[in-house]
Chains A and B, each alone.
Chain A
Amino acid sequence: MNLTLLIAWLPFRQPIPGVQDHWLWLLPILVLGISMMYKAIRTTDLGRWPREVLVMTGQVLLAFAGLAIGLFLIVQLLVPLLPAS
């Protein structure tokens, strides 16, 4: 990310610079927020809330990674094997 752009960034007025190239890093933040809200209503013992949030975040991210790997293998390996005609 260009540091000059980041320094010149006006929060809430402009979109954050550099998102177009690094949008994948937003995924953990998104999943973390969802996990925080979900686990706040699902956890019995609130003392375990931070740990459960991190575990759920990790699980969701692993699921995303698994889906990405699966799709990569299908598109790159299986689809080229199909007959063209």
Chain B
Amino acid sequence: MNPPPSSSNLARRRSSSGGSAPFAWAPFLLGLVFPGLGHASIGEKGRAVRIAAGFLLLWIGGMLIGGPNSVQIRNPYYSVPGGSARAMADTTAEAQLRSGARAVTSGGSNAGIRLWFLPQAGAGPIAFVTAFLSQAMIPTSGPDLIEVTMPDRRSGSIDRFTAIGHALDFGTLFCALAGLMNIAVALDAGRSSIPTRGDDRR
């Protein structure tokens, strides 16, 4: 007895017969969970391996180039006005809570979502796990901190291995493009219309 056709196979069959193919959500979502998994789920394992290889080149490359600063969910405190106040609040949170000085930080600037993380989030859980590990890897105290002047001209301290300049730019860009490409790849897994493949001139 033949197994029931999956939605992606059905879509491909309808596409090849000239009908409109419904979008296959399961391969799309699997593709977002891990790059290439969507294509592997519809039987295209060769493509899945190549997709994963390209993704890993970009993602690991970005992490090697920029270090843990390449993937961060929130803007680092040293990059926003008032960030030094927030950093100080973080280090002495308990004392400030006792003295009621929390308004100093909450009224200042909340380091919002880093916009570069939005395309990076296209990598799915990998992006969030990497961001969490990166945050855990950056020390908040200890000998690896150096004194710097913050954007609001107060003195503050940051990790001495903080990426700046082209290292930060390219590390962030590599991971952002990996995430964006993965969204395109996951959409392809959902569409899964093989007859249209190879037509690069479109």
Contacts and interface: CB of A to CB of B under 8 A. Distances in A.
Interface of A: 10-16, 19-20, 23, 26, 29-30, 32-46, 49
- Name B's interface SS: helix
B147 interface: no
The 8 closest A-B pairs by CB, nearest first: A36-B54, A44-B198, A15-B167, A37-B54, A40-B50, A33-B58, A15-B163, A23-B166
B115 interface: no
A29 B171 CA distance: 12
B64 A33 contact: no
Interface of B: 35, 39, 46-47, 50-51, 53-55, 57-58, 61, 63-69, 137, 161, 163, 165-171, 173-174, 177-178, 181-182, 184-185, 188, 197-198, 200
- Name A's interface SS: helix
B92 to A, nearest CB: 26
A33 B54 contact: yes
Nearest to A30: B174
Given A20-B165, A33-B61, A42-B200, A15 B51 contact: no
A20 B35 CA distance: 30
Given A33-B57, A36-B57, A13 B200 contact: no
Contacts of A39: 50
Contacts of B165: 19-20
